[in-house]
Structure 1
């Protein structure tokens, strides 16, 4: 690390000019021109292929690693403003961390399988793989236009056999561990997309999330991954101290998993007098009393349970006995199944395991239904715990459940009845049953389509006999491949690990490389993926850790969940039809009231997620053309925090446009005054301005760095940079010409901007380093390097930083300490300073200290957090 001790006197006029550098990096040098859109385009065209990306170097372990990961996109072929937002954020963070001398991995790939691509290909009468490759090429070009510094050498695509070979390998590892199973289940069937949907892909109106069709219930044999086995572990993992800035995402994940206060067991159907179900169907029952499962006598399901809908054509009143029996897997006792509209089920449950020997309501139900049972001696706590452990261990060994989970959580249904997905590596043999494809025979690749025009509609794998029929891996007799493909959530559940080692042909990824790079330091994506995708990705990480392939359980250290980009929509009040802006007639100056030009009907004006169907989308290409790429990047980052929804409103644009012009004028003035110094101002005034620039530089470097580094509040970082511009613009010509502190502050201004606007900052820097009479000879400014090769500015050691004093996470006092003192403070010294503060003392008279921790954010601040022994204070700390 390079420290710079500054002396304000070094900014006096008694300076010695530096000689010219050996190499100069020139830009367009059109400082006499106005910064209009033509010049902005010229700047970006000039610097586009010159921006240094500094790709990740896996051989370099001398620098700290930093893994910044934006969620990979579906290759639709066109960027939308949501893409611009998330990838501008990730690119800004990646460039910032590189300038802090981190070895940064910033990869990109393509979530390329699935329904959208296949349906789009069918509509266009082309093959799904050709359509997908075309889209990837086009979007890649757009990303490069956006100036994203991705590590293209680590690029992956989930539809590439090189990738999905290892998705299949992951499936086999889960199968080997007993976490994959196939069973008949009543599932959600989309009649338009002709595939099964998970419960989470059906809305509250029982319609498909994708096609909008009314979902049907069908009994099909499906593949499941037993995520419930890891439920308790996944819930506990959310309290891992390594997780940073997860905030409400922890609540979302905990709500999804639920309280793991019971155990699930798999019961087989042993009798069905209506011949609707077979003995291959398993029935999962959850109970909070696993120690008494041997005494279970019946099962009750609600009217909403799938079994009720299968057997009962009419609504019921009271209790109905279904024509099926279930077999208790632990003692083989057969249990009747009842439907009741009066039974009180626990929250989030639609089944109940009846244990009348223990539960009073079950006893009353058994008496009414004439079910025999025996009273038993209740177990004390010690006996119950021991028995619970015995039962769970036995069930786990039999692979019929026995794991603690919540009543609401279901296993992961991964079967999809479509062509464009990862083939499930299973072969069905009449003699041997389902057999895993040997690893040496992976990947099981998709067959080439018979026709690219899909004349017969949706392609199905079962219609390709040359692909379908193979030899059984076990007995070598003819067998049939599995014709379902995997849900695309499986592809995306582990992609962050393949980025670590994308060219490995011998294993999913190198454990050594994963140990170095994992966990992901910053994971960036939309809140819509904070439930399912994040849950599945965490599950796979926990699973791989359990079989010693992953060094830690949790895959993502810090999350940045960005808000959606919203556009103003116009919908006809009577019909609900969305209309384009051109069909809207406004009735007031504020544009809050409007009518449809065609019908005269009133219009409902609302901010909604951008969508073609709502006519409220903004094409990024139009923004690039009208405002330039870097201006668009700044606009999408400005005004609101990344985590908040971004209402795309041109009323906010002038602030950024004016700021860019003021930066342009600042470099123009700097060159003018350095080339032709103006008349000198009095020494006392010069010193005052010099000191002001010293203070401004340090203050805004500290504040901007904090918002890049800790809070990722890019909008606030922009605001702070604008503050530094204001300080620079106040200076008289003599200070601009002769002040070292002005020179340092102006260099910082451009460097701070560079991660967000790399083309524009590169041109500003080329002007800055072309000025004569350079003052800084300390090596702080690398005069022969581009702006993106500069070291990130640091606060001077003599500048006062904050020592923030907290009690139970609540700030009580801020003490100013020079950086050089703050960074050598021991934990106890920092604590003593806090304890000597009167405000802290007043709090601790009520809440005695229990313990404390001291965190130093180098070059930004130090934080002493005193934790009180008070129960009330502890609750505050927890919240």
Structure 2
């Protein structure tokens, strides 16, 4: 490529005529422009990255009322929502990470031309506030509102842009009025009910927990206390009525990676549909005065029925409860079992009863009697609270049997190969169950050598033929949602209990049922539910009969609030409806929902349930189009871990002030001189590894903190927070600011430097404008020749700019690879910086490239973006400062000039035909200047050599597998074009833009 020399092109002053008003007209807020390169460099050096957010915040605040109109185009609505925070009082880095991600994406969508809703609110009800009230002797509302104000101030420091006019608090009666309304809608449809149930009770927080709020060790998710089992009357929502669509529609959310597979897997597992069989086991009792109904068992492996060696019943199974009346040992075991972990292998043998294997009379088995145990691992909710134990083919059953039956032989009835015979497993190194599917033992009558799949259906049919109950069925792990909480700080359940009428819904016109106003002193050191003791609030009249009645004193699970809050953001001031259906139609589903994977089961499952329900009502009838799914795309960010120092000798966590970290690779414990162990772990007070986002922002600035957070790790990965690396991000952002100060523009060119085309102009338009202003001399045809004559340096810069735009837009729009965005922008920054001023065009291309860079940086580092925008625009057209574009965020997001890339990279499109019919199109290099377009043989050879290297070309031209060779009658290579057969012809025209292969058949036809 021949570069444009200064002698040929010249650096000419533009004509002394009024400048064309650029469409990228000037911002109202201007910067004083330095007249010399020295001054520009000095001022760039003096620009403090850490101060830019605070500098521009007043300007953004002034623009807030007109923000949604500051768009170059109207692409419709977009809803970007981070999971709203619990107002604990202090933001942590996890908050900062999720809000940075959402803010970046919201700003990007805004710059693309969308009217973006990016709201913030507060998940303000909950146990922590009430516990704090008890500890401090202050009303939970007062504590909550103080925390909200503190966190709002912290959020504003991070440089985010929020729709504060949509702000909501779930503890506001104006909000929970509609939470209560949703409860009543569910109640009217029979989807809310009250029932006696054995529930999980937290003895520390003194409230009931849903199954989802109890961990694998049987402890409360909130307090960590060992959960107790209590029989209480509670309110439930029938989420099971929606279990089919909740499971099925996960497939839709999986399309195009809309939801992370990890979250989908967790929800599938929690909903837990299992296909299997229901079998009935008769029960025999040593006491003839006792008669028991058959035990119903669900199993996914009916093929292992021949190997059943015990049945296990849940703690509350009717048979267990009946026998416990007269069995002291059993009652004692049941009491102990309450404190056992859920996966315990402890069991209690019910020696007075046994079960009969329903398949025994078909197989003539002699040992049909089966012992029955009580086992804490059996859940009441699974099947009918009973499972069959097959130690030979289930790991858990095997462990339970060895624990409770010792060295007893274990039956093996399924084998990996056919023609295997029944076997017995003894204790030892081979004592492991075979858990895969396989073949039934050959010596089991009627079923021998059947595959597991065949045996499952045949077993069910055979048992049914004997008159016993048996059927193919499915079971679900999902249980109805327990929403009752015995605490004050939650939305009251809108039910009134009447002695004559029973539970009666509160009339809609009496909503909200507000919490009573209680003095601060009421909460000090109090236990239990204050609502039970507040007689003035509790006593009321029945809406149905007018009799004296009592309000329901339970409040709703706070997940009820978060199951629908995203509806309310669309219409937060509506006093009559929870949302105007038209606004729901225009605004839902949420386009981007960002939050932690820890909410995969609880919040996200409940939100899907309530949204699907509301899609069946007049609240969101349009929701049927989206299967009632509330969130189109889900982004789950990883946790933020902090640097943790540990004493290697004692294992004690060390405070940072106990460690000399001047040598980061060898941090020393100050007191002992021993090298401390360094790791990155979940931040906590006990590990002394917490980081205050406010301190970090004050030290490094919001822009550098945000960019560092995005750059350090992919969004979905754990982020190891290492402030030592933030300096590199600071240097990069400072270099961006220096570029915006045009440190690449010599002093002698400053007076004449003007930009008079759109900032998103394509290269041809830019060059044509420069030619028209006599900065460059015109060529004929102008655009093609000018582009062809670009210097290598200019071409590389423009290529890199367009490639970066393409990559960044892809990352912002589809992959959400924020770390690669920062990396790509760093590379582009260096490319602009390193490109020499090799032609008259270079400064102009640098201006456009820098402008694109700044607009791509702006969502990540708003202060740097705004500073750079105003700086560059003042340089470009200082006579047009009073324009309407007052912020970089009104300038639009760069769009790649893709059409120019092939020209700049010396490639073009080649259409390939077979017998005149188009087959495919590929991009190949243009003809080198050493080949004349009139030399048809040389052109054809060059085109063929390039085509064979492409994937599509290889499919046709490869000598072993190519379709052209398969259609050859001779199979011999062409004497000139070796990679095609000699009975084919090649015609290349338009300098290689079209290549036609002529087959032997066509050639013969033309010769006739």
TM-score (normalised: structure 2): 0.65
Conserved? CA contact 2:134–2:525, under 8 Å: no
Counterpart Cα distance in 1 of 2:685 and 2:659: 17
1:725/1:599 CA distance change after superposition, 3 Å: closer
TM-superposed CA distance for 1:601, in Å, is 9.2
Conserved? CA contact 2:791–2:838, under 8 Å: no
Conserved? CA contact 2:704–2:861, under 8 Å: yes
Match runs of 1:525-564 below 5 Å: 525-550=595-620, 551=623, 552=626, 553-564=628-639
The Cα offsets for residues 471-527 of structure 1, whole Å up to 9 and x where unpaired, read as 011111011111111111111011111112111112121221111111111110011
Per the alignment, residue 566 of structure 1 pairs with: 641
The Cα offsets for residues 69-91 of structure 1, whole Å up to 9 and x where unpaired, read as 11000111221111111111111
TM-superposed CA distance for 1:229, in Å, is 1.8
Counterpart Cα distance in 1 of 2:172 and 2:740: 48
Q: Kindly indicate whether residue 792 of structure 2 is the aligned counterpart of residue 792 of structure 1.
A: no
Per the alignment, residue 874 of structure 1 pairs with: none
Per the alignment, residue 516 of structure 1 pairs with: 586
1:345/1:533 CA distance change after superposition, 3 Å: closer
The Cα offsets for residues 522-581 of structure 1, whole Å up to 9 and x where unpaired, read as 110011111211111111111122335332311111111101111022345687653322
The Cα offsets for residues 722-768 of structure 1, whole Å up to 9 and x where unpaired, read as 11111111123465886432221111011000111111211111111
Please, which runs of 5 or more residues in structure 1 have no aligned partner? 1-6, 265-283, 290-298, 323-337, 356-379, 388-402, 805-812, 819-833, 847-879
Partner SS, residue 796 of structure 2: helix
1:106/1:841 CA distance change after superposition, 3 Å: farther
Conserved? CA contact 2:885–2:891, under 8 Å: no
TM-score (normalised: structure 1): 0.74
Q: Kindly indicate whether residue 30 of structure 2 is the aligned counterpart of residue 26 of structure 1.
A: yes
Counterpart Cα distance in 2 of 1:41 and 1:354: 63
Counterpart Cα distance in 2 of 1:37 and 1:620: 25
Conserved? CA contact 1:803–1:814, under 8 Å: no
Conserved? CA contact 2:27–2:887, under 8 Å: no
Per the alignment, residue 411 of structure 2 pairs with: none
Per the alignment, residue 110 of structure 2 pairs with: 98
Partner SS, residue 220 of structure 1: strand
TM-superposed CA distance for 1:107, in Å, is 0.9
Q: Kindly indicate whether residue 230 of structure 2 is the aligned counterpart of residue 253 of structure 1.
A: no
Counterpart Cα distance in 2 of 1:614 and 1:606: 11
1:534/1:60 CA distance change after superposition, 3 Å: farther
Counterpart Cα distance in 2 of 1:404 and 1:173: 32
TM-superposed CA distance for 1:8, in Å, is 14
TM-superposed CA distance for 1:173, in Å, is 1.2
Partner SS, residue 771 of structure 1: helix
TM-superposed CA distance for 1:611, in Å, is 2.2
1:346/1:437 CA distance change after superposition, 3 Å: closer
Q: Identify the range of structure 1 (547-556 vs 250-259) with the bigger mean alpha-carbon deviation.
A: 547-556
Conserved? CA contact 2:794–2:842, under 8 Å: no
Q: CA RMSD in A?
A: 4.6
Per the alignment, residue 704 of structure 1 pairs with: 808
Conserved? CA contact 1:321–1:339, under 8 Å: no
Counterpart Cα distance in 1 of 2:374 and 2:507: 49
Per the alignment, residue 617 of structure 1 pairs with: 690
Per the alignment, residue 273 of structure 1 pairs with: none
**Match 2:206 to one of 194, 198, 210:** 194
Counterpart Cα distance in 2 of 1:37 and 1:128: 47
Per the alignment, residue 954 of structure 2 pairs with: 838
1:546/1:199 CA distance change after superposition, 3 Å: same
Per the alignment, residue 731 of structure 2 pairs with: 658
Q: Identify the range of structure 1 (94-103 vs 208-217) with the bigger mean alpha-carbon deviation.
A: 208-217
Conserved? CA contact 1:671–1:771, under 8 Å: no
The Cα offsets for residues 752-786 of structure 1, whole Å up to 9 and x where unpaired, read as 001111112111111111115799x9xxx989442
Conserved? CA contact 2:350–2:372, under 8 Å: yes
Counterpart Cα distance in 2 of 1:436 and 1:652: 59
The Cα offsets for residues 46-80 of structure 1, whole Å up to 9 and x where unpaired, read as 20121245655899995321111110001112211
Please, which runs of 5 or more residues in structure 2 have no aligned partner? 35-39, 279-294, 301-309, 325-329, 334-345, 354-370, 389-456, 465-471, 753-774, 778-785, 910-919, 926-949, 963-1008
Per the alignment, residue 988 of structure 2 pairs with: none
TM-superposed CA distance for 1:318, in Å, is 3.0
1:420/1:262 CA distance change after superposition, 3 Å: farther
Partner SS, residue 186 of structure 1: strand
The higher radius of gyration belongs to 2
TM-superposed CA distance for 1:246, in Å, is 1.3
Conserved? CA contact 1:186–1:306, under 8 Å: no
The Cα offsets for residues 684-732 of structure 1, whole Å up to 9 and x where unpaired, read as 9973333222212211111111111111111101111111111111123
Match runs of 1:269-348 below 5 Å: 302-303=313-314, 312-314=331-333, 317-319=348-350, 340-341=373-374
Counterpart Cα distance in 2 of 1:8 and 1:510: 65
Counterpart Cα distance in 1 of 2:681 and 2:12: 60
Per the alignment, residue 520 of structure 2 pairs with: 451
1:532/1:731 CA distance change after superposition, 3 Å: same
Counterpart Cα distance in 2 of 1:428 and 1:58: 54
Conserved? CA contact 2:78–2:591, under 8 Å: yes
